[in-house]
Chains A and B, each alone.
Chain A
Amino acid sequence: MSDAAGVLLEVSGISVRFGALLALNKVSLAIPRGEIAAIIGPNGAGKTTLLNCISGFYQPYEGTIRFAGRDRTRLSPPDVAALGIARTFQNVALFRGMSVLDNIMTGRLLSMRGNLLLDALWWGPARRQELEHRAFVERIIDFLEIQAIRKTPAGRLPYGLQKRVELARALAAEPQLLLLDEPMAGMNVEEKEDMCRFILDVNSEFGTTIALIEHDMGVVMDISDHVIVLDYGRKIADGPPEQVHKDQAVLDAYLGVAHD
């Protein structure tokens, strides 16, 4: 396959094993630039493992991952982040005692150049740099409509807002690819609708390619361009939502098959 054809992420035949458990079994997929792709599947299907491989947290024992045309199967998470991949977590992972603003600022750390002395004095380039990054972060705060909680400690926020702050932090890294692990888990209907709109807006406004794991099928069908279905570590379907929705293998995986 060629990378010139607008494919941002290409995963070819990766497998991951935890002891005797084959968590991913020769999974291949391609996510074109500018797309919203959903990864779905029953519990334990290997969705989060796949995301962890893409973000460099796990190393597959076979297969390759190419990002923006370069092979980067064996990179550490910081290197992956530097390449332009950011993520959010299934369980919110914010710095609870830090303000929302500071939490989002940490998303800019990769693009900051440190100098202990200048930073301590907040002088010259250090000051200029901080102001530039703050300006960028403010754009994200405005975008996600969280102005009112800018200075609130993250730990004091309701869950739905914490999820939004996490998204903000991921966006602060200006990623090309955004990985969202169950961005809507545990939210009420209204919060889900808000989150859907934000995801769609991020995609159209910043042109960010998005891969998300989600259980709410309504959400998946509404917002994704392309759905990838995993079951027991294998990919069982891959295509536009309408098509996947009718796929027999998918129905079997979700509803179970009678074993005679």
Chain B
Amino acid sequence: MSNAASSLDTFPRLVRANAERWPRGVAIREKDLGIWQAYTWRDYLERGRRIALGLASLGFVRGDKVAVIGDNRPQLYWAVLGVQALGGVPVPLYQDSIEKELTYIVDHAEARFAIAEDQEQVDKLLHVRERCPRLEQIVYCDPRGLRAYSEPGLQSLAELEERGEKFAVGHASYFDDEVARGRAEDTAVICYTSGTTGPPKGAMLSYRNLVEMGRIAAEGEGLTPRDEAMAYLPMAWVGDHMLSYAQAIVAGFAINCPESGATVLADLKEIGPTYFFAPPRIWENLLTSVMIRIEDAAWPKRRLTHFFLGLAQDLERRRLAGQPLPWLPRLLSPLGRLLVTGPLRDNLGLRRIRIAYTAGEAIGPEIFVFFRALGINVKQLYGMTEASVFVAVQKDGDVRLDTVGTPLPGVEIKISEGGEVLFRSPGVFQGYFKNDEATRQTVEDGWIHSGDAGFLDAAGHLKIIDRARDLGRLADGTTFAPKYLENKLKFSPYVKEAVTLGPGRPYVTALVNIDLGAVGNWAERRGIAYTSYTDLSQKPEVYDLIQQEVLRVNESLREDAVLRGAVIRKFLILHKELDPDDEEITRTRKVRRGHVAQKYAALIDALYAERDRVAVEAQVTYEDGRTATVRADVLIRELPAR
């Protein structure tokens, strides 16, 4: 028995075991042609097997790398399994990457094969192949628009699976033999981290890393085959790989692939997941969509909603701070649950949530409180790609606003003399692919240097202050935490992105990106006409609107003993959205400060000069790699002194 259990240490072997245990248990659902189609664990194994054999017939050898690119599709998860069954290494890529980025990774990873979702990705890969001759075969899932393509080494997944069937005839035990050769120490996946500085690095994670960390976290939360999750985050993000692939297989729960990126919110409502994983950006988007709808409602409804939401948030804030709850709000809160928070939670498709994580970046406290006040068990998760995601997580019933929880079992945390968070766990990665230099900088004696500044409090909770690198001081020595301020700004539905500046400067300033949906809606309701994003962003009314938000942030900052000196003095609204295609933010939407500071140097200089407007020109890059120039006059707003 112990022998059998210990051999369940690679995903192909785990899926085979799942297929035997729950042959009719649902593993993946996908909404296709308007209907949720279910695939069982047996389907998972069977399709993975056919893809593996098809690749084998094309001369696949152990250790080959396979680029996987597209939206979350069952076929792509099967392909990951098929590649792993043969001892290959899948390299998932961001589906919205431009050619330049793809070329870098495909070349660096030495991929011989690529599995793509559709024509859009195939077109990019065909261009990539011109510069990366090592890439031999491209396989696509959706044949639409591709029938007329006659390039060599291009075929559909259906054709590949057919080849696999034929190959199986003479090689009956090939698949099982290959699966048996897999070892827990083998590299299971290479996740390229977009990184806020420098070119992407490929983190190699072993089966042991993913299986053990996945299992520890799943057991900690009591995940079972009855749980349901949404597979909607980019497959290239380690968070999706861990949750939708590793944990789903280890714990045996079903994942649900939305119909398209645009239908996620509607699909969420239909599925009602019990386990949900989202970076702060998704929570922000959800909040914005709620706020827009509330503002559009008739005033009795609006008043009622605001009253009960305020009440619920106030209670939640006290609960998180461990303060006693006043009797009147406590008495009223069941009514609020009945009239406002309950229906709202149901409307968002979050009614059945047992566990929801926010991860990837620090979440603004206001956003966090909002969702917890709705009765959703949102918990902060601290992790990183190099740790196979999980480092620390908040335990049920022990959630606090300002910490990211306690280390998971098997994870050790210590703080370096410089205040940096270091940790060691079974999830510590094998190193960066072909980049020993970077590996040495990150791992020392098995301890990973997270690059985050933080400390462990008396109760053993980890508190993250900011990126160690970003934390700075103003010219007069005042402590300044940019991320903290930015998250406060982003709580506003009108603010999509914010970059604050300060280190070495006399005062703090902010570059703000407005949320086109929310501000556009606001402008329409007030009859403010605008022609474009740039035009809208420079309306004096919009500046007034954003000024209110900045003042609110300053107000709450004055209550913080350490950061009270770092209030925002001036701000401007950027004339274009920060965009990963322009390398201003990463694909996971982390601001690339260095790049932004360099690109908008003229704007930043103006913020620290006595000027009220500045002319700008900016390069924008379209998804096909073309560039264009945007010209505008950007206003600068100084906040009235208090």
Q: Could you tell me the distance between the alpha carbons of A193 and B593 in the complex, rounded to whole angstroms?
A: 34
A residues less than 8 Å from B418 (CB atoms): none
A179 within 8 A of B: no
A138 touches B147 (CB 8 A): no
B33 touches A197 (CB 8 A): no
Residue on B nearest A145 in the bound complex, by CB: B260
Interface string of B144-176 (1 = CB under 8 A from A): 110110000000000000000000000000000
> Residue A205 contacts which of B31, B32, B145 (CB distance < 8 angstroms)?
B145
Please provide the chain A residues from 133 to 151 with a CB less than 8 Å away from any CB of chain B in the complex.
134-135, 138-139, 141-143, 145, 147-148, 150
Residue on A nearest B148 in the bound complex, by CB: A204
Q: Could you tell me the distance between the alpha carbons of A145 and B120 in the complex, rounded to whole angstroms?
A: 13
Q: Could you tell me the distance between the alpha carbons of A147 and B259 in the complex, rounded to whole angstroms?
A: 7
Q: Could you tell me the distance between the alpha carbons of A141 and B145 in the complex, rounded to whole angstroms?
A: 16
Residue on A nearest B258 in the bound complex, by CB: A147
> Residue A139 contacts which of B33, B147, B260, B266 (CB distance < 8 angstroms)?
B33
Q: Could you tell me the distance between the alpha carbons of A183 and B530 in the complex, rounded to whole angstroms?
A: 26
**Which residue among B32, B34, B144, B145 has the maximum number of chain A CB atoms within 10 Å of its CB?**
B34
Q: Could you tell me the distance between the alpha carbons of A201 and B259 in the complex, rounded to whole angstroms?
A: 20
A150 touches B34 (CB 8 A): yes
B2 within 8 A of A: no
A residues less than 8 Å from B145 (CB atoms): 197, 200-201, 204-205
Q: Could you tell me the distance between the alpha carbons of A141 and B260 in the complex, rounded to whole angstroms?
A: 12
A residues less than 8 Å from B298 (CB atoms): none
Minimum C-beta distance from A79 to chain B (A):
31
B residues less than 8 Å from A200 (CB atoms): 145
Q: Given that A143-B144, A200-B145, A204-B145 are known contacts, is A138 also in contact with B34, CB under 8 Å in the complex?
A: yes
Minimum C-beta distance from A134 to chain B (A):
8
Interface string of A24-50 (1 = CB under 8 A from B): 000000000000000000000000000
A residues less than 8 Å from B262 (CB atoms): 147-148
> Residue B33 contacts which of A142, A145, A205 (CB distance < 8 angstroms)?
A142
B598 within 8 A of A: no
Interface string of B249-274 (1 = CB under 8 A from A): 00000000001101100100000000
Q: Could you tell me the distance between the alpha carbons of A95 and B260 in the complex, rounded to whole angstroms?
A: 25
Q: Given that A204-B145, A204-B147, A204-B148 are known contacts, is A148 also in contact with B263, CB under 8 Å in the complex?
A: yes
A residues less than 8 Å from B260 (CB atoms): 145, 147-148
A142 touches B147 (CB 8 A): no
Minimum C-beta distance from A148 to chain B (A):
4
B residues less than 8 Å from A143 (CB atoms): 144
A residues less than 8 Å from B144 (CB atoms): 143, 201, 205
A residues less than 8 Å from B263 (CB atoms): 147-148
A141 touches B148 (CB 8 A): no
Number of interface residues of B (CB under 8 A): 14
B residues less than 8 Å from A135 (CB atoms): 33
Q: Could you tell me the distance between the alpha carbons of A167 and B147 in the complex, rounded to whole angstroms?
A: 22
Minimum C-beta distance from B492 to chain A (A):
26
A205 touches B147 (CB 8 A): yes
Residue on A nearest B33 in the bound complex, by CB: A138
Residue on A nearest B261 in the bound complex, by CB: A148
Residue on B nearest A136 in the bound complex, by CB: B33
Minimum C-beta distance from A39 to chain B (A):
24
Residue on B nearest A101 in the bound complex, by CB: B34
Please provide the chain A residues from 86 to 117 with a CB less than 8 Å away from any CB of chain B in the complex.
none
Minimum C-beta distance from B257 to chain A (A):
13
Q: Could you tell me the distance between the alpha carbons of A150 and B266 in the complex, rounded to whole angstroms?
A: 11
Residue on B nearest A141 in the bound complex, by CB: B34
Minimum C-beta distance from A206 to chain B (A):
11
Q: Given that A147-B259, A204-B147 are known contacts, is A142 also in contact with B32, CB under 8 Å in the complex?
A: yes
B33 touches A148 (CB 8 A): no
A residues less than 8 Å from B266 (CB atoms): 148
Interface string of B417-439 (1 = CB under 8 A from A): 00000000000000000000000
B residues less than 8 Å from A134 (CB atoms): 34
Interface string of B44-85 (1 = CB under 8 A from A): 000000000000000000000000000000000000000000
Interface string of A147-158 (1 = CB under 8 A from B): 110100000000
B residues less than 8 Å from A138 (CB atoms): 33-35
B residues less than 8 Å from A197 (CB atoms): 145
Q: Could you tell me the distance between the alpha carbons of A255 and B259 in the complex, rounded to whole angstroms?
A: 48
Please provide the chain A residues from 154 to 191 with a CB less than 8 Å away from any CB of chain B in the complex.
none
Minimum C-beta distance from A34 to chain B (A):
12
Minimum C-beta distance from A131 to chain B (A):
11
Residue on B nearest A198 in the bound complex, by CB: B145
Please provide the chain B residues from 505 to 560 with a CB less than 8 Å away from any CB of chain A in the complex.
none
Please provide the chain B residues from 1 to 48 with a CB less than 8 Å away from any CB of chain A in the complex.
31-35
Minimum C-beta distance from A68 to chain B (A):
24
Interface string of A198-233 (1 = CB under 8 A from B): 001100110000000000000000000000000000
Residue on A nearest B143 in the bound complex, by CB: A205
Q: Could you tell me the distance between the alpha carbons of A142 and B118 in the complex, rounded to whole angstroms?
A: 13
Residue on B nearest A197 in the bound complex, by CB: B145
Q: Could you tell me the distance between the alpha carbons of A200 and B119 in the complex, rounded to whole angstroms?
A: 13
Q: Could you tell me the distance between the alpha carbons of A138 and B35 in the complex, rounded to whole angstroms?
A: 9
Q: Could you tell me the distance between the alpha carbons of A201 and B32 in the complex, rounded to whole angstroms?
A: 19
B residues less than 8 Å from A147 (CB atoms): 31, 34, 259-260, 262-263
Q: Could you tell me the distance between the alpha carbons of A142 and B32 in the complex, rounded to whole angstroms?
A: 8
B residues less than 8 Å from A148 (CB atoms): 259-260, 262-263, 266
Interface string of B193-216 (1 = CB under 8 A from A): 000000000000000000000000
Q: Could you tell me the distance between the alpha carbons of A138 and B144 in the complex, rounded to whole angstroms?
A: 15
Residue on A nearest B145 in the bound complex, by CB: A201
B residues less than 8 Å from A150 (CB atoms): 34
Q: Could you tell me the distance between the alpha carbons of A200 and B266 in the complex, rounded to whole angstroms?
A: 30
Please provide the chain B residues from 399 to 416 with a CB less than 8 Å away from any CB of chain A in the complex.
none
Residue on A nearest B264 in the bound complex, by CB: A148
Q: Could you tell me the distance between the alpha carbons of A204 and B32 in the complex, rounded to whole angstroms?
A: 22
Q: Could you tell me the distance between the alpha carbons of A143 and B33 in the complex, rounded to whole angstroms?
A: 9
Minimum C-beta distance from A154 to chain B (A):
17
Q: Could you tell me the distance between the alpha carbons of A204 and B147 in the complex, rounded to whole angstroms?
A: 8
Residue on A nearest B623 in the bound complex, by CB: A190
Minimum C-beta distance from B162 to chain A (A):
21
Residue on A nearest B142 in the bound complex, by CB: A142
Q: Could you tell me the distance between the alpha carbons of A33 and B32 in the complex, rounded to whole angstroms?
A: 31
Q: Could you tell me the distance between the alpha carbons of A10 and B33 in the complex, rounded to whole angstroms?
A: 37
Residue on A nearest B147 in the bound complex, by CB: A204
Q: Could you tell me the distance between the alpha carbons of A33 and B144 in the complex, rounded to whole angstroms?
A: 21
Residue on A nearest B260 in the bound complex, by CB: A147
B residues less than 8 Å from A141 (CB atoms): 33-34
Q: Could you tell me the distance between the alpha carbons of A143 and B260 in the complex, rounded to whole angstroms?
A: 12
Q: Could you tell me the distance between the alpha carbons of A134 and B33 in the complex, rounded to whole angstroms?
A: 9
Known: A135-B33, A145-B260. 19 other contacts (CB 8 A): A138-B33, A138-B34, A141-B33, A142-B33, A143-B144, A147-B34, A147-B259, A147-B260, A147-B262, A148-B260, A148-B263, A148-B266, A200-B145, A204-B145, A204-B147, A204-B148, A205-B144, A205-B145, A205-B147
* Nearest 10 interchain pairs by C-beta: A148-B262, A138-B33, A138-B34, A147-B259, A148-B263, A201-B145, A147-B263, A147-B260, A142-B33, A204-B148
- A-binding residues in B (CB < 8 A): 31-35, 144-145, 147-148, 259-260, 262-263, 266
- B-binding residues in A (CB < 8 A): 134-135, 138-139, 141-143, 145, 147-148, 150, 197, 200-201, 204-205
Q: List 6 A-B contacts (CB under 8 A).
A: A141-B33, A142-B32, A147-B34, A147-B259, A148-B266, A201-B145
